[in-house]
Structure 1
């Protein structure tokens, strides 16, 4: 009887170890509203000639459905057909499930700092703030024995060099028009670099189109097999600022498709299959109480601090869309990501506690 008990205990320990996430992929899409994430296309904005780019028929055909659940799945099919079934999605304020920025600024650098450091640092009050003095969870993870040398970050916006403090961090941060592949790029990376250099630059030199960030990160995933990969897409914010609602929806839809592409690769690769967690979120919200303010964010927009958070992976219970009445904050994301990987994030600044009930 004792032998059977010991054997069962042994296999239970093995099973527990096998379930621990060994890799994590963190994805953000800039300034994407919870309203579209949970409700799909906004009919008022789609009808408005100021925002629909004179193409409401295209928007309706591609994204409209009378049923809210169908509508959001049309916009974000991977999020609502896969992630919602296998993971947890927070931030549907209609159900009382609230997620907000803890920082008072509600724009990008402070938001990304809060996501990555677990600290809503009020000194970081500009998108042009210099190198981040705070330690990120990526930097912390990169110092762990099992992860060292296996962290990489890709961002469409050039500010990520400062947000993640590349000079101090000890891992590569490929932002905007940086070349991918380092000193020994693959043929595919050489092609990505050539296309990036010759590409259309609607956001000038500060930000590249998301397609280059995506394929640079995907090639990194396939070639160097990082254990921690961060990808930040930016077009959702850029098209919203421009007032281009069709392009904003298309950008979000494309990000969802790219996440599916990444996840399909992950689930067919021996290093990653059933050993990888996914986190998907945003840096800030946008206006909605006044519909015309959907293009904007910042402390002058009352509801621009309203955000969302989604995750799935080993030891993350598949609870789906969270419907409990609760209040969470962006500064809880960093410790949550560390715990998903089996660590406690520590730094020389305050770090908020993790979101309860995400990682076992």
Structure 2
């Protein structure tokens, strides 16, 4: 009998299967590029709001997002985060409470950050945003290689470098990105969104985030993926353009999209009570010097500081975590696989799962 159980354990280990009895059957990893933890936890930055270099329509921001307290302001800015996740899930990264989330790669910009999120490995050799195929295996590729998940992994993104980060050629994962039109047997919505994509170019990003979201939602409705990566970009692009009002509205819109997707999942039997969302950003932005909020990278202080959130059937409702602690961006990949009962390995020294995110 002991030999029998040893054999079962050996087989499960070889298949990268854990014994965890999680309710989660689907994992969505969602990012909004370069959105600061400062706005996440205090709402509108009053210093930036007063600066005419960064704000075109101050009254519009005041009417929509300014409130008497930072807590009320952040709730108006990110309603899903603070009305749903803060009650039913977990939020990390409020450094004013001593709760820290850090990037480990030394560069503090997008490709290194997304590689770290998806591969669990802060690769110092990835030091640009150049379109080079990622040599590291991501958790998306790893999960797509599992027999039960094969063909049930996909990514929809605004930024056009993601096919290279996910390495769609090697991994076989469909990545719809930037100016990619949806092909095949299209729904009416997909036809319309394709037409908008062709005729209504974004002046900020590679395409509008709303195109990414609604194409992604159509894909999810049609194909019912079990692992999905969704990435928005306009927060970063409007920040680089020094448009603080548009940056705030882009964040608010991304929050609404995430909330809408969560509500959709809770309305479908294949996702309801079986789906975990992991939400975060790829890097921080400047804060100490007012003019540097538009930028990030090694020359801008504290851009390694980020935030993350989680919600799902296996995630205890801790809300905003105010205890002192330290998490890292490279822990998301293994955490995502762990929710599905798999032990993610890719031959690198990757971050460990976040144990507080699951029961």
| TM-score, length-scaled by structure 1 | 0.92
Q: 1:239 touches 1:245 (CA, 8 Å); kept in 2?
A: yes
- 2:250 & 2:157 partners in 1: Cα distance? 15
| 1:41 equivalenced with 2:44 (yes/no) | yes
Deviation at 1:187, TM superposition (A): 2.4
Q: Partners in 2 of 1:89 and 1:125 — Cα distance?
A: 29
Matches within 5 A, 1:46-125: 46-53=49-56, 55-125=57-127
Deviations 1:246-279 (A, max 9, x none): 0000000001111111111100001000000011
What is the aligned partner in structure 2 of residue 11 from structure 1? none
Aligned equivalent of 1:261:
260
Which 10-residue stretch deviates more, 183-192 or 253-262? 183-192
In the alignment, is residue 238 of structure 1 matched against residue 237 of structure 2?
Answer: yes
Structure 2 residues without counterparts, runs of 5 or longer:
1-18
Whether the aligned pair in 2 keeps the contact of 1:86 and 1:319 (CA below 8 Å) is: yes
Counterpart in the other structure of 1:29: 32
How far residue 18 of structure 1 moved from its aligned partner, in angstroms, is 7.9
Give, in whole Å, the separation in 2 of the partners of 1:19 and 1:325: 27
TM-score, scaled relative to structure 2: 0.93
Distance of 1:246 and 1:101 partners within structure 2: 26
What corresponds to 1:249 in structure 2?
248
Does the CA-based 8 Å contact 1:339-1:359 persist in structure 2? no
Can you list the C-alpha shifts for 1:151-193, whole angstroms capped at 9, x where unaligned? 110110110010110101111000101112x322222212211
Deviation at 1:221, TM superposition (A): 1.0
Aligned equivalents of 1:171 and 1:127: distance in 2?
20
- Give the drift of 1:26: 1.3
Determine helix, strand or coil for the equivalent of 1:25: strand
Aligned position for 1:153: 155
Q: What is the 5 A alignment of 1:183-198? A: 183-198=184-199
CA RMSD of aligned residues (A): 1.4
Distance 2:116 2:308 in 1: 13
Tell me how far apart the structure 2 counterparts of residues 68 and 295 of structure 1 sit (CA, whole Å).
21
> Matches of 2:308 and 2:200 in 1, distance apart?
32
Aligned to 1:7: none
Aligned length: 341
Structure 2 contact 23–313 (Cα < 8 Å) conserved: yes
Separation in structure 2 between the aligned mates of residue 219 and residue 138 of structure 1, nearest angstrom: 20
Distance in 1 (CA, whole Å) between partners of 2:21 and 2:105 is: 37
Q: Give unmatched runs, 5+ long, in structure 1.
A: 1-15
**Which whole-Å CA distance do the structure 1 matches of 2:189 and 2:22 have between them?**
34
- The 5 A counterparts of 1:1-360 are 19-53=22-56, 55-180=57-182, 182-203=183-204, 207-360=206-359
CA contact (8 A) 1:20 1:342 kept: no
SS of match in other structure, 2:125 = coil
Contact 1:88 1:322 in 2 (8 A): yes
Corresponding position of 1:8: none
SS of equivalent to 1:81: helix
CA distance in 1, matches of 2:136, 2:194: 31
Q: Which residue of 2 aligns with 1:4?
A: none
Give SS of 1:83's match: helix
2: CA distance, partners of 1:351 / 1:359: 19
